[in-house]
Amino acid sequence: MAFTQQNSSAPPHGHGVPHVRLPLVQADAEKAGPPGVADQAAMRALRWLRLVFGVCFAINLGLHLHPQYAAQFARQAADVAAQPHWLAMWDGAVWRVLSAAGVSKGLALLFGIETLLTVGLLTGWGFPAMGWLGLAYELLVWSALGGGGAGAVALVYALGFALLLLLRAWQGSAWSDAALRRPGLLQVRWAFWLVGLLWVVIVWAAWQPGLGLRLSDALIQAQVHAPNGQAEWIAFWAGLGQALGMGAFAVLIAVIETLIAAGLLLAPWLPRGSRRWLLWSGLIFSLLAWSLSGALGIFPRSQADTLGAAVIGAWLFGLLLAAHPWLETTPPGAATAPPEKRQVVDAA
C-alpha cells in the first residue's frame, strides 16, 4: 500500500526536471559545437594576418624584379667566410645544381615559387601543402645565402610559415575546404616556444661584448641609408642613447629583449592579462626596431631585396596575440553540457 501511494504522489512526466537546469544546458550547448564564437574570432584574425603575410610576399616579389637582384643574390651566396663547415658544403651543393641548370633558370624557378606562395597566402589556396612549400623554400634560401644577415631574414620567414601551419591560419578562406577546428594545445604552445627560441638567439647576440659600440654603429649606418624623415627619427633615438650613455641604453634594450624571450617561453603558464601585455610589448618593440632600421627595414640596404626581419617579427606577435586564448580555454567537445544532460535524465 505504501508502495502504491509513493507512485501515486509522483509528479507527472516532465514536471520533475528542475527549472534552473534548463538555461544552463542551453548556454553550454553554444560551447559544444566547434568552433565557438571565440574560436571563430581567432580564426578570422589569423586569416587576416595570413593576408598581411601575403602582402609582404607580394612586396618582396616586386623588389626581386630589380635588375641587379640576381647579381646581389649571387654575391650574398658566394660569401661563405663565416659559415660552419656543414653549411658551406650544403651551400656549395645547392649552387652547383643551380649552375648546372643555369643561374637564370634557377632564379626563374625561385620567382615562380614566390609567385605561387604569394597567391596561396592571399587566397588560402593549396594549404596546408603551400605552407610546407613556403617553409622548405625559406630554409633553402637561408641555406643558399649561407646563414648570414640575409639568410637570417629568410629564417624568420620560415618561422612565419611554421606558425601558419601550427595555428591553421588558412582555414575558413574561400579557396580552402579545410574543416574548421582549433589547433591542439601542444601546437599552440610550440608556436610560442619557436618564437621564444628566435628571441633567445636575439638575446644571445645582444649580450655579446661591446653592446654600446655595436648599437651606436647600427644607428649610424641606419641613418646613412634612411630617407630624410626616417633619418630624423633615428637621430632622435641616437641622441637619446647619447644622453643616457650608449652602453646603458644598449643594456636596457638587452634587458627588454631578455624579458620578452623569457615571457614567450613561459607563456603557456602566464595569466591571460600578463600574456597579452607581453605580446603587445613584443609587437611594439619589433615595430620600433623596424622603424630604426635603414631604408624602412628593407634588407639589404645596398639593393632592395626583402622586407626585414623586424617587421615580420611584429607580424609573428600578431599571430600569437590572435591564438593566445587557446592556451587556456577548454577544447571543443569538452564543455560541461553532457554532465548537465545526464543530471536532467536522472532527475526525470
The model's confidence at residue 348, banded by pLDDT at 50, 70 and 90, is very low
First to last CA, the chain: 24
Quote the mean pLDDT of the chain.
79
Burial status of residue 332 (CB atoms within 10 A of its CB: 0-12, 13-18, 19 or more): middle
Residues 119-161 have pLDDT tens digits of 999 998 899 999 999 999 998 888 776 555 566 788 899 999 9
Segment (H or E) for 299: strand 298-299
**At 307, which helix (H) or strand (E)?**
strand 306-307
Q: Which domain holds residue 256?
A: 184-329
Is residue 81 in some structural domain? yes
Same-domain status, 224 and 237: yes
Nearest by Cα to 25 from 332, 333, 331, 340: 340
- In a domain? residue 178: yes
Q: Pick 186 or 298 by higher pLDDT.
A: 186
Do 191 and 227 fall within a single domain? yes
156 shares its domain with 91:
yes
pLDDT at 31 over 60: no
Residues 201 and 93 reside in one and the same domain: no
The vertex-6 CA angle with 5 and 9, nearest 5°, equals 85
Cβ(323)–Cβ(64) below 8 Å: no
Domain annotation covers residue 217: yes
3-state secondary structure of 330: coil
The reply to whether 87 and 210 lie within a common domain is: no
| Any domain includes 42 | yes
Residue 173 and residue 49 in one domain: yes
* Gap between the Cα atoms of 249 and 292, Å rounded: 15
- The answer to the question of residue 80 being in a domain is yes
